[in-house]
Amino acid sequence: MVSKLLKNRLSARIKSTKRSSIREMFRLTENSDIISFAGGLPDPNLFPAKIIEKATVSVLSTDSKRILQYGASEGYVPLKQELIKRLIQKEKIQLTEEELIITTGSQQGLDIIAKIFLNYEDIVIVEEPSYLGGLMAFKSYGAKFIGIPCDENGMRVEIINNKLKNLAKHEINRIKFVYIVPDFQNPGGTTLSLERRKKLIELAEKYDFLIVEDTPYKELRYSGKDIPSLFSLAPQGRVITLCSFSKLLCPGFRLGYTFSSKDIVFQLATGKQSIDLCTPPFIQAILAKILENNELEKHIQNLISVYGKKEKIMLNSLNKHMLPLKIPTIEWTKVEGGLFLWIKLPEYIDTEKMIMKAIEKKVAYVPGTDFYHDGSVKNCMRLNFSSSTFEQIDRGIKRLAEVIKSEKR
Amino acid sequence: MVSKLLKNRLSARIKSTKRSSIREMFRLTENSDIISFAGGLPDPNLFPAKIIEKATVSVLSTDSKRILQYGASEGYVPLKQELIKRLIQKEKIQLTEEELIITTGSQQGLDIIAKIFLNYEDIVIVEEPSYLGGLMAFKSYGAKFIGIPCDENGMRVEIINNKLKNLAKHEINRIKFVYIVPDFQNPGGTTLSLERRKKLIELAEKYDFLIVEDTPYKELRYSGKDIPSLFSLAPQGRVITLCSFSKLLCPGFRLGYTFSSKDIVFQLATGKQSIDLCTPPFIQAILAKILENNELEKHIQNLISVYGKKEKIMLNSLNKHMLPLKIPTIEWTKVEGGLFLWIKLPEYIDTEKMIMKAIEKKVAYVPGTDFYHDGSVKNCMRLNFSSSTFEQIDRGIKRLAEVIKSEKR
């Protein structure tokens, strides 16, 4: 793709950047009769277009001079105020305006965090598997990784100690943060237990690294009980929390927010200035109005009800179509929320090699390899259950079981 | 501001980042009776709120499932198609969809260009003075600069040859691109002559660097004749052109676009994936609808008429209030378009020191120093004429003349 002439000009970081397989898959499966479990897409049938229209007309008629102008890099103040109110109610988290910044999607939060913390070859501790967008953002600033395996309770944090205790001081100093999706992880679907949250904070204090917790799915719990965020459990300044409205309202707004100590948020705002000046005030104002009208909470309750049902259907379909294959080593996450579950297949299956066969059979998933910082694991896949219909989920899992069945041992 | 603990953790790039004086000034002069020539703000009274409302209601009612979802990193196809049509009509530039990418403001275009081209200590050739947002983006990736002075015809491109001819081959290889705002430059207000455009392309071919041309003001010409873009004059793949709708529609949308060869645009899209996944499809669809309805061109004609009048008033006010000061070395740009003009004051005036006095007198400008990559020039200032009313412009220039008069030689 790249001409020789161009190759000599590109930066080292972009030459080592692999394009997101998810975003490529997105192009491949768009507008076709493929049942795609590949994206991380919310169900477009649930987008609250009417609520958005009402809020847009309202803010344009009362406040157009302000919301169509440039805004502060830190974010639109009325939105920040609504978010702060909401965090007290929902998470018992008390913040000042200076401790929170609006970002252009939480992906931008990851990019800015990487930008302000990572020198070339600094170290980030990540889950195995980890969120692809996080890995890509950190890699693009030259990060190295220490990977920590996960089980059904999320990252096995006790392993951090084993990995770090023999490192030299100068190596420990290069560890800038642990990056973790503690609730309904992408891609694993797992949730970090309370004990592990406490242990992780203890280790962060001991080795003096920060914790970056990414929580786009936290509010989408379909069963079980909410676990307090790392932010709420840790001393001030230890945790940076990323949140997103992509799953709670719509991805098309690209609205997220990040909170931490005032010091850290100040640096994030400095980093953001050269990235996009500010997140669109127009969209920030629409969301602020929706929150002010108290129209989001009912919508989220609806999402929980529909996605919870989809999750059950996918788990039932897996039981129905996968168990008869009589492959003893096949496993999947017993998820309680979020949008994803993770399937571990026998070692003889390479899901990256299998994907084209699956697409021929009109079903798509994301091969697990890309979620590993070192690409070491080949026999896993991520399935999304939010974007397909009830009926598609069962039919797609049936097709997938046939594809898996036809793989040679 | 930064605690010692945090300072040890921050990346080298953010430690060397100075916050934008313009964005700080923006905070200082917001909501006050100061007449501010400091921002680069379009006139909020001209924002076409009704046109935006109509387009929003239309796209939400017909296409909400698509425009509220994630979109391609390359941009929303109907918008790209409208832009391509427009470029043929306005600039006689013929592009394919693969040669153009939508960005979250043109500032994001600068960030991505820096990300994909610049290794630490690679060189960018810039104007003296240059656009602050460009300098910040490049600095944040560790760029070094070669500065080229400007006169009333823009960058004195012949000087590039003098500066480069004695450099070693390995130094020449580190020059990735020249960054230039050829039309109604920010901050200088000057326009690069046709001869210099041709000469710059010749030098880019000779020394094999790229040209990054940033053209947010090109369509805002109030007198004189349009000069063809560098893109249209150069061989394919030599120029990357940045465009923005911040000045033509509204900044609150954060919509820009960048075009170049297919190869380069592919790399830009790869870089963008980890930055924000995609620019809000919701906003892209609104702009596409406005263009489709052919409602932008009339609006731009209105901007040209009002801003052209403001420009004349500012030039007249400068004659009226500055000439009686009888300071022979005071000079300002005879601008023909854009939003800014540049004042050069006598050497004994340090505009950074003078700014607090000006704010006391209820008038604000941006000190020129920050527009120099090395901060070397102290006696200049940038004035914006688009955001103040006719009456404010005259009153503000009168106040400014009083401040300048009171400076000691």
- CATH of residue B185: 3.40.640.10
| Other Cβ atoms closer than 10 A to B41 | 18
Using only the alpha carbons of chain B, give its radius of gyration: 21
Max Cα-Cα span within chain B = 66
Q: Does residue A3 have a pLDDT over 80?
A: no
Nearest to A139 by CA among A269, A291, A18: A18
Using CA coordinates, name the residue in chain B closest to A66: B44
Q: What pLDDT band is residue B224 in, cutting at 50, 70 and 90?
A: very high
Q: Are residues B197 and B143 in the same domain?
A: yes
Q: Residue A254 region, left (φ>0) first, then alpha (ψ -120 to 50), else beta?
A: left
Instruction: Give A-chain residues touching B122 at CB under 8 angstroms.
Output: 11
Q: Does residue A25 have a pLDDT over 90?
A: no
Is residue A228, in this structure, part of any structural domain at all? yes
- Portion of chain B with pLDDT greater than 70, in percent: 96
Interchain pair A279, B27: CB under 8 A: no
Q: Are residues B268 and B318 in the same domain?
A: no
Question: Residue B393 and residue B311: Cα distance in Å, rounded?
Answer: 9
Closest CA of chain A from B314, distance in Å: 22
Contact A402, A361 (CB under 8 A): yes
Instruction: Give B-chain residues touching A23 at CB under 8 angstroms.
Output: 72-73, 273, 277
Span B319-324, average pLDDT:
96
Is residue A312, in this structure, part of any structural domain at all? yes
Closest CA of chain B from A78, distance in Å: 15
- pLDDT for the residue A408: 83
Which of A4, A53, A70 to mutate to probe the B interface, most B CBs <10 Å?
A70
Q: Does residue A160 have a pLDDT over 70?
A: yes
Helix (H, G, I), strand (E, B) or coil at A339: coil
Please tell me the least confidently modeled range out of A327-336, B21-30, B54-63, B352-361: B21-30
E strand residue ranges, A230-379: 239-244, 255-259, 331-332, 340-344, 363-364, 366-367
Structure token pair of residue A318: 């897996």
Question: Residue A241 and residue A260: Cα distance in Å, rounded?
Answer: 6
The alpha carbon of residue A178 and the mean position of all alpha carbons in its chain are separated, in whole angstroms, by 15
Angle between helices A262-276 and B105-117 (to 10 degrees): 90
Interchain pair B275, A111: CB under 8 A: yes
CATH of the domain at A303: 3.90.1150.10
Contact B58, A49 (CB under 8 A): no
Q: Does residue A186 have a pLDDT over 70?
A: yes
Using CA coordinates, name the residue in chain B closest to A142: B119
Write the DSSP symbol of residue A129.
S
Instruction: Give B-chain residues touching A108 at CB under 8 angstroms.
Output: 275-276
Mean pLDDT of chain A: 94
Question: Residue B347 and residue B378: Cα distance in Å, rounded?
Answer: 8
Max Cα-Cα span within chain A = 66
First to last CA, chain A: 36
Strand partners, B36: B364
Structure token pair of residue B351: 């505009």
Structure token pair of residue A161: 């100690």
Q: Are residues A73 and A217 in the same domain?
A: yes
Q: What pLDDT band is residue B353 in, cutting at 50, 70 and 90?
A: very high
Nearest to A17 by CA among A102, A106, A137, A130: A137
- pLDDT for the residue B230: 98
The last residue of one of the domains, among A294, A316, A339, is A294
Q: Which residue has the tokens 């009612």?
A: B61
In b/e form, how buried is each residue of A299-327, taking b as 16+ CB within 10 angstroms? beeebeebbbebbebbbebbeebbeeeeb
- The burial class, CB within 10 Å (0-12 / 13-18 / 19+), for A406 is exposed
Q: Are residues A375 and A283 in the same domain?
A: no
pTM beyond cutoff 0.90: yes
Interchain pair A19, B57: CB under 8 A: no
Residue B187 corresponds to which amino acid? P
Mean pLDDT of chain B: 94
- Portion of chain A with pLDDT greater than 90, in percent: 90
The last residue of one of the domains, among A259, A294, A329, is A294
| Other Cβ atoms closer than 10 A to B62 | 12
Closest in A67, A118, A273 to B11, CB measured? A118
Q: Are residues B33 and B159 in the same domain?
A: no
Contact B77, B67 (CB under 8 A): no
* E strand or H helix at B178: strand B175-180
Q: What pLDDT band is residue B26 in, cutting at 50, 70 and 90?
A: low
Interchain pair A279, B254: CB under 8 A: yes
Closest CA of chain B from A316, distance in Å: 28
B374 phi and psi angles, rounded to 5 deg: -110, 10
Is residue A125, in this structure, part of any structural domain at all? yes
Instruction: Give B-chain residues touching A67 at CB under 8 angstroms.
Output: 252
Residues in chain B: 409
Residues in chain A: 409
- Provide the Cα torsion B293, B298, B300, B301; round to 10°: 160
Q: Does residue A99 have a pLDDT over 80?
A: yes
Residues 6+ apart with CB under 8 A from B330: B322, B343, B344, B345, B346, B404
Structure token pair of residue B10: 């921050």
Q: Are residues A289 and A369 in the same domain?
A: no
Residues 6+ apart with CB under 8 A from A113: A137, A177, A212, A240, A258, A268
Contact B109, B103 (CB under 8 A): yes
Question: Residue A174 and residue B19: Cα distance in Å, rounded?
Answer: 26
Torsion sign over Cα B39, B42, B46, B50: negative
- The burial class, CB within 10 Å (0-12 / 13-18 / 19+), for A154 is buried
* E strand or H helix at B149: strand B144-151
Contact B42, B386 (CB under 8 A): yes
Nearest to A3 by CA among B264, B232, B270: B264
Question: Residue B383 and residue B368: Cα distance in Å, rounded?
Answer: 10
A227 phi and psi angles, rounded to 5 deg: -110, 135
- pLDDT for the residue B379: 97
Closest in B14, B108, B275 to A267, CB measured? B14
Q: What pLDDT band is residue B27 in, cutting at 50, 70 and 90?
A: low
| Other Cβ atoms closer than 10 A to A257 | 23
- The burial class, CB within 10 Å (0-12 / 13-18 / 19+), for A407 is middle
- pLDDT for the residue B30: 65
Q: Does residue B138 have a pLDDT over 80?
A: yes
Q: Are residues B173 and B208 in the same domain?
A: yes
Closest CA of chain B from A347, distance in Å: 31
Q: What pLDDT band is residue A409 in, cutting at 50, 70 and 90?
A: confident
Question: Residue A309 and residue B132: Cα distance in Å, rounded?
Answer: 52
Domain range enclosing A370: 4-48+298-405
The alpha carbon of residue B115 and the mean position of all alpha carbons in its chain are separated, in whole angstroms, by 18
Q: Are residues B222 and B168 in the same domain?
A: yes
| Other Cβ atoms closer than 10 A to B43 | 18
Q: List Cα–Cα distances, B79 to B52, B60, B72, B97, in angstroms.
A: 15, 15, 12, 10
Q: Does residue B8 have a pLDDT over 60?
A: yes
Residue B255 corresponds to which amino acid? L
B214 phi and psi angles, rounded to 5 deg: -110, 120
* E strand or H helix at A213: strand A210-214
Interchain pair B274, A52: CB under 8 A: no
Contact A100, A80 (CB under 8 A): yes
Contact A400, A354 (CB under 8 A): no
Q: Are residues B255 and B347 in the same domain?
A: no
- pLDDT for the residue B256: 98
Question: Residue A352 and residue B216: Cα distance in Å, rounded?
Answer: 44
If one counts the domains in chain B, the total is 2
Span A321-333, average pLDDT:
94
Closest CA of chain A from B167, distance in Å: 18
Question: Residue B131 and residue B120: Cα distance in Å, rounded?
Answer: 21
Q: Are residues A191 and A90 in the same domain?
A: yes
Q: Are residues B195 and B242 in the same domain?
A: yes
Angle between helices B351-360 and B390-405 (to 10 degrees): 120
The last residue of one of the domains, among B262, B294, B326, is B294
Strand partners, A255: A104
Interchain pair B252, A49: CB under 8 A: no
Q: Tens of pLDDT along A200-214?
A: 999 999 999 999 999
Is residue A384, in this structure, part of any structural domain at all? yes
Q: Residue B37 region, left (φ>0) first, then alpha (ψ -120 to 50), else beta?
A: alpha
Q: Does residue A1 have a pLDDT over 50?
A: no
Q: Are residues B247 and B114 in the same domain?
A: yes
Interface size between A and B, measured as CB pairs under 8 A: 261
Q: Does residue A5 have a pLDDT over 50?
A: yes
Nearest to B189 by CA among B384, B378, B394: B384
Q: Does residue B31 have a pLDDT over 80?
A: no
Span B397-408, average pLDDT:
96
Q: Does residue B1 have a pLDDT over 60?
A: no
Contact A285, A67 (CB under 8 A): yes
| Other Cβ atoms closer than 10 A to B158 | 13
